Each structure stands twice: as structure tokens, then as C-alpha cells.
């Protein structure tokens, strides 16, 4: 149903080869810039039951998904810090010291940019088990909102867009008055002042072609691929820049020792849409839309090399809510259908210009995207992560922005 248009122009967006291969240092002494934007940290202090600092205690942090462990030793003050942990997964922590009973924390979930502070007191007589006790949770210094994998999975997302999730924070507003644009306003600022990073790669609208802040018509990566999202409104950190409103920082899932996957499908059409608006009858435009996707993750080499992939396809319609007087459109333009037809005839016959359709009809909207990711845990201090994202979107956009124009 694609036709030549004048009052409507075709906007085709192709973003491919947004790939990154980054060697991430997981050493606890000096945090890497990349790691601060895509990973998480666990830190705290270990002491005896009487409150004395316990130096030389071993702290082991193990990923439940990959089985990869990080070992550190407490310093003279009993402090420990485990940096560069992949975000969006859960961890088990075990603290062990000679002559003292072990302490542990099970199922600790870490979101992107979080710094979890957990303090342990070891007893000489009985084992102490700490079940996810939190002393403090921080991202970059400054106001922020963090959404882990559980929040992404439990929250409704009709549009399969992270905007549906982050708008739960009252400081973030999603403008839904312009159809599927869904522009994010942080503290009332224009969406063009935001910044979006995925696995440390910036995905901003560098040319200012879209009103949603994305470089593409819709979210440029599959919704199922995201494991954690953090929104930093005013991060006081040198690793952030290129925005004045907020930074939307997302990290993608990684494979695990156990294979996992999912499939989804949804369908919509004009027959499932209402035909009245505030009591007034409106003309229904013929259309149908389908959306489906699949994800799969697993291990190529257990505890060492992992893969993950996600695919999503949308084949739907962009509704044209403007029409002539008496057309029954949601927004009726103050001209008759005969006048629109006459304008179109003059445009074709006199000026040789094709103005497109003059009726209120739905236009095709296609969007295809996928993400591929590989993670290689080289050793305790280094991890190599490569991410490839592809998006191909086709849509018709009105050249006249006002609702009283056709």
C-alpha cells in the first residue's frame, strides 16, 4: 500500500553496524571508563563480631548465570571493592577468613551503574548468612532512577519501549500526545537534550530528524535484549557528557551456562479499535499490524565464552488522523473532499507534481531490528564484549505538522 507522496514524505532510517568490541578491565584497583558506564560494583567492609576490622579476608563474587567468579582480599581497614561486574544479572557473595565462620549473600541483583555496599561481621562460633542486606545503592553521584531486569519484566510495556518503564519515575515524562513518538522529557527538558547509550555506545539522533530522541523511527534495539536501565539526570562524573537533560544508560543481556530463550507475538487491527471518541463517531481506517520476536542465549564454552541474540519485527500502520470536512477523521481540516481533489488535479496536470493521496488512510510502517552479542571472560581481570545492532525502519511522515493542515 505504498504510494508516491508530496504532502507526505518517506523517511527511511537504516542504522547498521553499530558494533563495539571493547576490552573491559575488571581489576578492582583502577576502574575503567567503559566499565563505569556498563557495569556494577559491590563494596563494603568486613569486621569481627566485636567490630574490629578484619584484614586479609577473601571475598568471592560469583555470577549465577555464567559461573564466573571474582576474588578480592580485604585491606588493612577491612574494606573490599569488586568493580567491573556485568550488570543485569544476580550474584552470590561469600566471605571467608581463617579462624572465622563464613558469611554469604545470595541472589544479589545489580543494575547498571549501581554500587552496592554490603558490610559483613564474622562470628567465631556460628555461620552468618546475610540475605541481600543493602547499606547503600548508588549510580553516578546525582539524582537517578534505576530499573533492573525484574522491573523490566514485571512492568507492562504496550509499546515494547524502555520509555514505558522509565516513566514510572515522576521526574520523567513521556509525551504520548503525538502518536508513537513517545518523547522522553527529563525534568521538563526537550528530548533532544537527552543522551542514550547501549553497552557504552551512544545512540543519539545526531541529525535531529526524529522527535523521539532516537536515531531511528522506533527504539533501535529489541526490547527483550535489555537487562538493566539507569537514568541519570545530573551525574557528577567525568565519564558522562554530551547531554544537558539526562542520560539513559542501558546494558544488554549476556548468555549463561544454561540455554534460555523466548518468543512473542501480538496482533492488532482496525476491528479491535474503538469507533467513537468522546461520544463522537470517527471513521475507522483499514489496517492490521503484527509484531513478533525471539531471543536466545547460552554458552559456547561454559564459564568462558557466551553468546546472546534477539530479533524483533514490526509490520503495521501509521494512522493519518486528518481528513476533509465530513470524512469522519479524528481531526477534520476545514476544506471539502472536492476541494482537496481539485488541488491534487491542478498539482498533477499543471505543475507535474504528485501530491499523494487526499483521503484519510493508513500508511505502511515497517521496522526490523536485531542484536547479537558475545562475551569472552579471558581471566579475572579482563573481559571482551562485542555487540552488533541492526535496525531498518520505513515510515511515512506528514510534511505538515499542524492538525489543521492536510
173-214 pLDDT tens trace: 888 776 667 788 888 888 888 888 888 888 888 777 777 778
Q: How far apart are CA 48 and CA 194, in angstroms?
A: 47
Check whether 133 has a pLDDT greater than 50.
Answer: no
H or E element: which one contains 151?
helix 149-154
Average the pLDDT over 301-312 and give the result. Answer: 95
In the structure, what pLDDT confidence band is assigned to residue 128 with cuts at 50, 70 and 90? low
Check whether 70 has a pLDDT greater than 70.
Answer: yes
161/23: higher pLDDT:
161
With beta carbons less than 8 A apart as the criterion, state whether 72 and 97 touch.
no
In the structure, what pLDDT confidence band is assigned to residue 134 with cuts at 50, 70 and 90? low
In the structure, what pLDDT confidence band is assigned to residue 24 with cuts at 50, 70 and 90? very low
- Mean pLDDT for all residues in the chain: 80
How would CATH label the architecture of 36-138? Sandwich (2.60)
In the structure, what pLDDT confidence band is assigned to residue 405 with cuts at 50, 70 and 90? confident
Check whether 390 has a pLDDT greater than 70.
Answer: yes
Rounded to the nearest angstrom, the gap between the alpha carbon of residue 362 and the centroid of all alpha carbons in its chain is 29
Average the pLDDT over 252-264 and give the result. Answer: 93
In the structure, what pLDDT confidence band is assigned to residue 397 with cuts at 50, 70 and 90? low
Q: Which three cell numbers stand for residue 90?
A: 544476580
- Tally: H helices and E strands in the chain: 4, 27
State the pLDDT at residue 94: 92
State the pLDDT at residue 141: 61
State the pLDDT at residue 17: 37
What's the pLDDT tens digit per position in 100-124?
A: 888 889 888 888 878 889 999 888 7
Q: How far apart are CA 366 and CA 108, in angstroms?
A: 40
State the pLDDT at residue 35: 38
State the pLDDT at residue 20: 40
Angle at 111 between CA 294 and CA 241, to 5 degrees: 100
pTM (two decimals): 0.76
What's the pLDDT tens digit per position in 87-104?
A: 888 899 999 988 888 888
Among 53-67, 79-93, 277-291, 360-374, whose mean pLDDT is lowest?
277-291
State the pLDDT at residue 369: 95
Rounded to the nearest angstrom, the gap between the alpha carbon of residue 367 and the centroid of all alpha carbons in its chain is 17
Q: Of 227, 222, 296, 294, whose CA–CA distance to 258 is shortest?
A: 296
- Look at strands 172-175 and 39-48 and give their pairing: unpaired
Check whether 16 has a pLDDT greater than 70.
Answer: no
Rounded to the nearest angstrom, the gap between the alpha carbon of residue 70 and the centroid of all alpha carbons in its chain is 27
In the structure, what pLDDT confidence band is assigned to residue 350 with cuts at 50, 70 and 90? very high
For 38-60, give the DSSP string. HEEEEEEEEEETTS-B-TT-EEE
In the structure, what pLDDT confidence band is assigned to residue 398 with cuts at 50, 70 and 90? low
Check whether 399 has a pLDDT greater than 70.
Answer: no
Partners of 301 in the beta sheet?
305
State the pLDDT at residue 127: 54
State the pLDDT at residue 23: 40
In the structure, what pLDDT confidence band is assigned to residue 126 with cuts at 50, 70 and 90? low
Amino acid at each position: 500500500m505504498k504510494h508516491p507522496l508530496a504532502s507526505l514524505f518517506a523517511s527511511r532510517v537504516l542504522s547498521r553496524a553499530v558494533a563495539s568490541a571493547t576490552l573491559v578491565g575488571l581489576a578492582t584497583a583502577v576502574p575503567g571508563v567503559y566499565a563505569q558506564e556498563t557495569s556494577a560494583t559491590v563494596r563494603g567492609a568486613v569486621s569481627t563480631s566485636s567490630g574490629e576490622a578484619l584484614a586479609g579476608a577473601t571475598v568471592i563474587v560469583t555470577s549465577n548465570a555464567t559461573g564466573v567468579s571474582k576474588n578480592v582480599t580485604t585491606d588493612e581497614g577491612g574494606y573490599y571493592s569488586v568493580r567491573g561486574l556485568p550488570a543485569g544479572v544476580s550474584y552470590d557473595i561469600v566471605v571467608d577468613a581463617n579462624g572465622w565462620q563464613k558469611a554469604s549473600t545470595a541472589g544479589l541483583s545489580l543494575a547498571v551503574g549501581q554500587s552496592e555496599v554490603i558490610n559483613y561481621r564474622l562470628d567465631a562460633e556460628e555461620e552468618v548468612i546475610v540475605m541481600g542486606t543493602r547499606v547503600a545503592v548508588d549510580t553516578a553521584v546525582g539524582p537517578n532512577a534505576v530499573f533492573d531486569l525484574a522491573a523490566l519484566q514485571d512492568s507492562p510495556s504496550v509499546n515494547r519501549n524502555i520509555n514505558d518503564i522509565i516513566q514510572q519515575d515522576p521526574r520523567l515524562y513521556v509525551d504520548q500526545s503525538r502518536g508513537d513518538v513517545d518523547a522522553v522529557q527529563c525534568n521538563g527538558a526537550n528530548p533532544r537534550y537527552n543522551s542514550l547509550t547501549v553497552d557504552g555506545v551512544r545512540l543519539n539522533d545526531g541529525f535531529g530528524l526524529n522527535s523521539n530522541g532516537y536515531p531511528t523511527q522506533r527504539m533501535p534495539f529489541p526490547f527483550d535484549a535489555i537487562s538493566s536501565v539507569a537514568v541519570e539526570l545530573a551525574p557528577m562524573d567525568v565519564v558522562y557528557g554530551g547531554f544537558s537533560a539526562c542520560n539513559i544508560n542501558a546494558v544488554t543481556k549476556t548468555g549463561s551456562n544454561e540455554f534460555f530463550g523466548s518468543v512473542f507475538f501480538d496482533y492488532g487491527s482496525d476491528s479491535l479499535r474503538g469507533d467513537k471518541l468522546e461520544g463522537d463517531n470517527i471513521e475507522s481506517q483499514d489496517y492490521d499490524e503484527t509484531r513478533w520476536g525471539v531471543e536466545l542465549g547460552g554458552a559456547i564454552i561454559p564459564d568462558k565464552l557466551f553468546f546472546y541474540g534477539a530479533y524483533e519485527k514490526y509490520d503495521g500502520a501509521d494512522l493519518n488522523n486528518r481528513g476533509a470536512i465530513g470524512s469522519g477523521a479524528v481531526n477534520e481540516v476545514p476544506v471539502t473532499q472536492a476541494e482537496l481533489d481539485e488541488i491534487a488535479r491542478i498539482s498533477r496536470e499543471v505543475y507535474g507534481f504528485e501530491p499523494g493521496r487526499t483521503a484519510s488512510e493508513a500508511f505502511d510502517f515497517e521496522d526490523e531490528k536485531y542484536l547479537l552479542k558475545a562475551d569472552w571472560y579471558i581471566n579475572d581481570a579482563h573481559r571482551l564484549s562485542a555487540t552488533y545492532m541492526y535496525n531498518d525502519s520505513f515510515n511515512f511522515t506528514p510534511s505538515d505538522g499542524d492538525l489543521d493542515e492536510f
